[in-house]
């Protein structure tokens, strides 16, 4: 790997990657990163939006990835990848993790459906789900995606790739303007 590190760096540079994390999405990592992003959020209000999307995507990976590892306290947690990159005047936030094929299909359909809704409809859906779901219920993925969709300035993007052990690799992406339109 050491000899390939330059290639790896060049690829990241070409993809304008500002931040990338691969591995167990620990709460500690999220917390530390939040401190960094929040400092920037003071100067850039859009960073607050970016941060919110990043947290929801990361917590999805953490709770729902089909690949698991154990964190420092011995608790099982999802493994995956999260990135923040630049695409011109846009920040792009992505997550990738292994899921069962039926989950990948369900998530793709869910994203497609969310993309058909306008901001007002997403807001109503968000409120409705919060009222319906008992707080003790799911860990929150459904509502998390609605929140991501309504905070994004562009439609959600998703890709499903073949992965090992009959699993699929689900990539979700959200994008926001660097400066508020």
Partner 1 sequence: MEALVIPATDNTPLIDFNPETGELWIIGESFPDLAHEFYRPVVEWFQTYVASTRGPIFLKFKFSYFNTSTSKYIINFFSLAEGAVAAGRSIEVEWYYPAHDDNIKQNGIELSDGFNIVFSLKPY
Residues that bind partner 1 (CB under 8 A): 27, 30-32, 34-35, 38, 45, 48-49, 51-52, 55-56, 59, 62, 123, 126-127, 130-131, 133, 135-136, 139-140, 143-144, 146-147
CB of 150 to partner 1, least distance (A): 10
Nearer to partner 1, 10 or 130 (CB): 130
Q: How far is the CB of 33 from partner 1 (least distance, A)?
A: 10
Q: Tell me how far apart the alpha carbons of residues 134 and 79 are, in angstroms, rounded to a whole number.
A: 27
- Whose Cβ is closer to partner 1: residue 11's or residue 32's? 32
The least CB distance from residue 130 to partner 1, in Å, is: 5
**Minimal distance in Å, beta carbon 49 to partner 1?**
7
Name residue 1's beta-bridge partners: none
Distance CA 61, CA 82 (A): 9
Give SS3 for 68. strand
Q: Are 92 and 157 in contact (CB under 8 A)?
A: no
Dist CA 174 CA 32 (whole Å): 22
């Amino acid at each position: 790997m050491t000899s390939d590190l330059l290639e790896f760096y060049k690829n990241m540079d070409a993809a304008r990657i500002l931040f990338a994390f691969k591995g167990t999405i620990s709460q500690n990592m999220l917390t530390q990163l939040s401190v960094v992003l929040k400092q920037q959020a003071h100067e850039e209000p859009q960073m607050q939006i970016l941060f919110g999307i990043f947290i929801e995507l990361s917590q999805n990976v953490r709770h729902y990835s089909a690949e698991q590892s154990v964190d420092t306290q011995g608790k099982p947690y999802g493994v995956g990848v999260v990135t923040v990159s630049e695409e011109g005047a846009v920040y792009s936030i992505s997550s990738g993790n292994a899921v069962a094929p039926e989950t990948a299909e369900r998530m793709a359909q869910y994203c497609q459906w969310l993309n058909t809704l306008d901001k007002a409809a997403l807001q109503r859906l968000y409120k409705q789900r919060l009222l319906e779901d008992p707080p003790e219920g799911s860990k929150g993925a459904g509502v998390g995606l609605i929140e991501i969709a309504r905070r994004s300035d562009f439609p959600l993007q998703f890709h499903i790739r073949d992965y090992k052990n009959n699993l699929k690799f689900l990539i979700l992406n959200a994008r926001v303007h660097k400066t508020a339109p």
